[in-house]
Structure 1
Amino acid sequence: MPRRSVAKLATVTAVVAASVLAVAPSAHADLVTYCIGTGGAVTVPNDLYVPAGESCALTGTTITGNVSVAAGGNLVVTGGTVSGEVRVAANGYLDASDTAIAGQVVLAAGGYGVFLRDARTGNVTVRPKGTTTIDSFLFVEQSTIAGTVNAGAGEVRLDRGTQVERNVSTTGTYYTDVHDSFVDGTLSVLNSATGSVVCGSAVRGLTTFAGNLGGVQLGPNGTLDSCASGGYWGRDVSITSTTGGVTVDDNIIDGRLTVTSNDPAAQVAANNRIRGGVTGDQAAATTNQAARLAGPDRDDAGDQRAEARRTSAVQEAVAAGDARL
């Protein structure tokens, strides 16, 4: 390349780089808006970025682009709208209530957590933990996920009228629980460290539980968590290679129930209605209510973890002042 062209290219590159650096922190930049502090009912005309270790608390805010929460950052959104996707980095936290997110939500490996209440999102993904030391969580209440849930780490709970319009798939989570919710596709829970509880819920597609170490509880009278009622299963249900106990109580299964290679053998109560019958080894069903009531409440423990991070994030955002969006 001629020397003059090289010099000209270097000059242009320097000007562009300087422009980006100058524009990025601006409240109304064309590229990205930084958020440190609190913001209200305004429209952000581009992408939003929460810097590493900072907190942003928004109420009634509309974001027309994508959102990125950097490592150790916190974003708390109430009554907001996001036209794009939300990505949360390691040790980052997203808390969205009464908020619509048009795109996907992705929690990176080692991300602290995602809490959704009265929200609507696209696909939700929790990356596997890998070599990180942080155990992530995904807690969803009274929300609609217009896509799939795919989690590879941490605590996962779908609760209180949540609807997932496609499939739910988890592998290697700490636990995966579904309470009073609806899954329009398949449900797959593999290799969970403390098992899975499904109560008062409906799953339309095939359901698979395999390799779970802490047990599987479908319906009440199990040892893992408190539960008021069983659920409806639109197709076959398979529970295999599970340790810690399997209990199936007060369920309607419009297919076959398979319970094989579980240690101890599964307890399948007589009050289940299973259209396709049961395949596999069964033990006599017993009532485990006393053991259940004595055990820890998984829901309360998770809520406390989310509440602690949410409270800290909002306090930090308020202390930082107006985000000048």
Structure 2
Amino acid sequence: MEALQSIATLEDLQRQFHTESSCVSFLYKLKWPHGFVCPRCQHAHAYIIRTRRLPLYECRACRHQTSLIAGTIMEGSRTSLQKWLTAFWLVSRSDIGINAVRLSLIIEVTYKTAWLMLHKIRAAISLADTNRPLTGEVHGFVTFYARHPSRQLNPGESPLIVAESVTLDGEVGELKMKLVEPTRLSDGLLLRSDCEQFANLHVARTATETSIIRHNFRIRRNSPLYQSFKCAWRWMNDTFHGIGAKYLQTYLDEFCFRFNTSLHHTSAWEQLLCLCVAVFSPASTCTLYDKTSISGASTAA
């Protein structure tokens, strides 16, 4: 059985998950790496009901029925598992972005279905980002997102805090980008209370005192942190041709997910599988950015 790391191209993915049965086998081992666990009573044995598109597992103790996609972002979806796994892999690619138009063409679904799939995937990424605060020494600044970079808030632009953790040896750590309500700015300055709110929500209590630069003019344009923001800006504009304020935060979280997984030299493909499948399951033991989180999960035979 091949390791997940062997999937380098779309052809590799389609070769490995060539049938729904192969996807079922893979997802079973991913969701229940140590064998079936009832989500209601934690019993370890189940009857298998195979009369539906996907098998149902009926707990032998409490008779509760569950499926592979129950409790995952795929729950309630009639889209095939092959197409879902393809979407996960495409989103995880760090070298390119994927929008709903392109995804709909690749996996042959409607634009509406592709958009909803991507929306659910990004929601899982955002949830994980919320639950993983920055550690160490944290630095940040306020800037503005629009189709064209700006140094001051204009109509249609969205202010945000860009922050990073810095290790003891001065190496850049993890990245976060969080939107700020425009009403909380005065002459380009973010209120101190909002800096403190960002720290409370997104910085670990064990971290050193947070330094949020409250005025975007004061950040060096050649600093690594500002360059990270510029990379995010280019990625969003090149892939999605500009993003409105309504969904901007989820795209910022997706960029940070890509950035942080590459920083830790972990597989974004494995981590995204963990977020979208296992993290929503009560039986999950996956941890974001843990290199060994699902490396033991077997792929389809």
Shorter-chain TM-score tier: under 0.3
Structure number, greater radius of gyration: 1
The TM-score normalised by the length of structure 2 is: 0.25
Is the helix fraction higher in 1 or 2? 2
Q: Which has the higher contact order (CA 8 A, sep 6+)?
A: 2
